[in-house]
Amino acid sequence: MADVIEVGAAHRDAPPPAGSKTRGGATNRGSRATPYLFLAPYLVLFGVFGLLPIIFGLWLSVHQWDLQLPNRPFVGLDNYKDLFDSDSAIYGDWWSSVRATGIFTVFSVPLLVAVPLGLALLLNRSFPGRTFFRAVYFAPYVLGVAVIGLLWRFLLDANLGLVNRLLGAVGLPSDTPWVTDVPWAWVSLVGVTVWWTSGFNAVIYLAGLQDISPELYEAARMDGANGWQRFRNVTLPGLRPVMLFVLTTTILASANVFGQSYLITQGAPGQQTRTVVWRIVDEGLRDNDAGRAAAMSIIFALALIVISIVNFRFFRFRED
Amino acid sequence: MIQNEMSRRRLLGLGVGLGAAASLTLAGCGGGSATKSGGTASGNGGKDYTGPKVSLNLWNGFTGGDGDIFKKLVEQFNSEHQNIAVAVNTYRWEDYYSKLPGAVSSGSGPDIAVMHMDQLATFAARGVITELDDVAKALELSEGDFAPTVWKGGIYNNKRYGIPLDMHPLGFYYNKAVMQKAGLDPNKPPTDKDEFTAALTELKKSGVQGFWISPFQFTGGMTFYSLLHQWGGTLFDADVAKATFNSDPAVEACTWLVDLIKQGHSPANVGQDADYLALKSGKNAFNFNGIWQINDIAKDPNAQIGVAEVPQIGSQKAVWANSHNFTIVKQRSADNNKVSGAKVFINWLSEHSLDWAKGGQVPARKQVRESAEFKGIKDVSTLAPELEYAAFPPAAPGLGEVLTTFYTSFNEAALGKKSPKQALDDGVAKANKQLEDNRKKYGS
């Protein structure tokens, strides 16, 4: 028995693995490979569809890369430099798209974290028709971006749309340029996105809420905690892992916004609501410059990774 | 944005996949060694084909009503040619243009591709399509058979890459009922600046903002494109080396449009397609829109929409237009039989473009345009004379992004974000940088 102690208690009664016949304390060698074998299918998929494209993207980003042109010269860091050089043709478009994405993310994320939480708290109570309301609030999420984009573009149209007409009917200004001028365009884009995607985050919160043990609420109630205190001291701590997930995925999703502005504001006014992903798509697929598009993607991805790390740190700090 | 012509179709087709971004990296895997010279001078340039049976793939972007007409024409061709079988694939234009290069370099591209005139130079420079001078020669096609502007548009670097099928200009749509209400003669739409502004004044008196200026490419941007040429300006210099859309005539044309908003003939902040929807629902009277809307207005005769040539507002006649062209796609390993078959098809369809006109396009071939049958296709033939003075986009590779810059400048001016002069100056500064980038890239 002495030679298997290091393997751990779980293996104590198991027969030695086939590969362990070799001499001198090598019993655990086979089992070391086991986790990697289990990981293998995923590693292969990740390698082919994750890692390789990333490496290939890095390769693209240091070339002037057009799929069809015979020459794809190595340009070093020029594609990156162009993004930071105010004299280059793409500088203005790039930074205005970064600004647009930043504005959208800063305004949409707090709402997309808070509104679904409120919604989930309400839908978690028991009242008649609860299932119906759960379905109602989740429903917009199942629609594609093309559907909601066109729907809202017509509803929000400054001169023909229903929204302005309703506002006018109750005596409010009826000529708000919801889709052609800032800041209204941002109000529209953020508002539509909250309406469209809140249901998803709410469902995640709901699942999280149902995981919080009812005994905790009961104990808090016995200690004389009121509703707000129960929310602060039981619900919020219980939801912390869920919130980390919601916050991180929402930041990433908001930073990747494309369809809403493409369809609803069409980038107007000028290019002020053109987002980073839209810019990258145009650069790579319309203007056939995969090198620049790759450089943009990599800078963008690095920024999102940094934000996600800060995010995780922040939550860990609070846990301490 | 890549040129695409149907705003109606855009509505249906705007769901551009978010996954397109993902294909960025994957598309690069194809290797992309399209053959340098794909089977030119094979066969007799399209007169007939007597070789073994070939099957050809054709890609196009005819997703609207014209798609059905196109498919019927292809069926007819197939039944008349036992040894050529053409299969049609239809994509939305945006998808189509981004899909094509990848498909070609991975060896799964089509044999024949329909392409807008302003895309020909880009795809020719990038080696996606092949020269067609021999087709034109063998078919004895020459400038005289087409409108000169359409015919010249297919040429890049002194070689022909496209055989024009049709052209689609901007037209002038007017709402007869609204005109009548304002005391205007519904059968006499304005034809020049004085008549146009006089009509707008009358309409305003009856409480109608007569001519809505859309700030977007569809269709305000194309209206500005037309007026800029009417004032005698151009978008670029003759070599497409420098942008010129901030010239005095351009600024004047832009100011004239923007002033219509200031004077209350158009509301501010007109949304995409709102100008056209307002025309159909009688909220305005005039709209410059693409010829492709003819089929749409025909669906609703109660709306009483008339079609006429775009009025001459500036010092000369001019109108935005584009054209569909047939091209032959380069293959990894050229098959001369396929190339010959493709040429037969292109020739045949070009000759049958009268049927194509029923899809709402003006045929490029003169002999078809002058036929009595074509003149019988009302509205479409009304716009045919515009071919003589149509301002087609120039043939230069990589022009798509530069045109976007042009349309964005107009957007900023029409939305009152900048003065016309400022917006166009800024646009030209950027466009010149883009043109310089293109020169480096395509070595032109």
pLDDT digits (tens, 9 = 90+) for B407-437: 999 999 999 999 999 999 999 999 999 999 9
Contacts of A313 (CB under 8 A, 6+ apart): none
Rounded to the nearest angstrom, the minimum Cα separation between A90 and chain B is: 8
**Closest-CA residue of chain B to A256:** B18
Contact between B172 and B310 (Cβ < 8 Å): yes
Phi (first) and psi of residue B109, to 5 degrees: -75, 170
- The residue assigned the tokens 């976007």 is B404
Q: What pLDDT score does B115 carry?
A: 94
Q: CB contact, 8 Å: A65 with chain B?
A: yes
Kindly list the residues from chain B whose CB atom is less than 8 angstroms away from the CB atom of residue A92: 430
What is the tens place of the pLDDT at every residue in B362-381? 888 888 888 888 988 888 89
Q: Is the pLDDT assigned to residue B280 strictly greater than 50? A: yes
CA distance B329 to chain A (A): 13
Other Cβ atoms within 10 Å of B217 Cβ, number: 23
User: Measured between beta carbons, which residues in chain B are less than 8 angstroms from residue A89?
Assistant: 430, 433-434, 436-437
Q: Which stretch of DSSP H or E encloses residue A83?
A: helix A78-84
Say what the pLDDT of residue B99 is.
Answer: 87
The stretch A181-191 carries a mean pLDDT of 96
* Residue B129 pLDDT: 92
**CB distance B108 to B73 below 8 Å:** no
At A236, the amino acid letter reads: L
For B18, the closest of A64, A180, A259 (CB atoms) is: A259
Residue B12: its pLDDT value, please?
Answer: 35
pLDDT band at A246; cut points 50, 70, 90: very high
pLDDT at B30 over 50: no
CB of A263 within 8 Å of a chain B CB? The answer is yes
Nearest to B267 among A60, A149, A159 (CB): A159
The answer to whether the Cβ–Cβ distance between B25 and A294 falls below 8 Å is yes
* pLDDT beyond 50 at B13: no
Mean pLDDT of chain A: 89
For residue A22, the model assigns a pLDDT of 47
Question: In 10 A of CB B369, how many CB atoms?
Answer: 21
Rounded to two decimals, the pTM is 0.86
| CA closest to A176 among chain B residues | B269
- Interatomic CA distance for residues A129 and A136, integer angstroms: 11
Q: What is the pLDDT of residue B143?
A: 82
* ipTM > 0.90 for the complex: no
Q: What percent of chain B has pLDDT over 90?
A: 54
Q: What is the pLDDT of residue A143?
A: 93
CB contact, 8 Å: A51 with chain B?
no
Whether residue A216 is predicted with pLDDT greater than 60 in this model: the reply is yes
Is there a contact between B273 and B218 (Cβ–Cβ < 8 Å)? yes
Report pLDDT digits (tens) over A14-32.
444 444 444 444 455 568 8
**Stated length of chain B:** 444
Q: Check A65 against B28: CB less than 8 A apart.
A: yes
Q: Is the CB of residue A136 less than 8 Å from the CB of residue A314?
A: no
* pLDDT for res B94: 80
What residues in B contact A144, CB-CB < 8 Å? Answer: 15
Residue of B nearest to A289 (CA): B441
User: How confident is the model over A38-47, as pLDDT tens digits?
Assistant: 999 999 999 9
Six-digit token string for A43: 């590693």
For tokens 């002020």, the residue is A272
B184 or A5, greater pLDDT:
B184
Q: Which of A92, A285, A287 sits opposite B24 (nearest CB)?
A: A285
pLDDT tens digits for range B86-143: 999 999 888 888 888 888 888 888 999 999 999 999 899 888 899 988 888 877 778 8
B106 touches A at CB < 8 Å: no
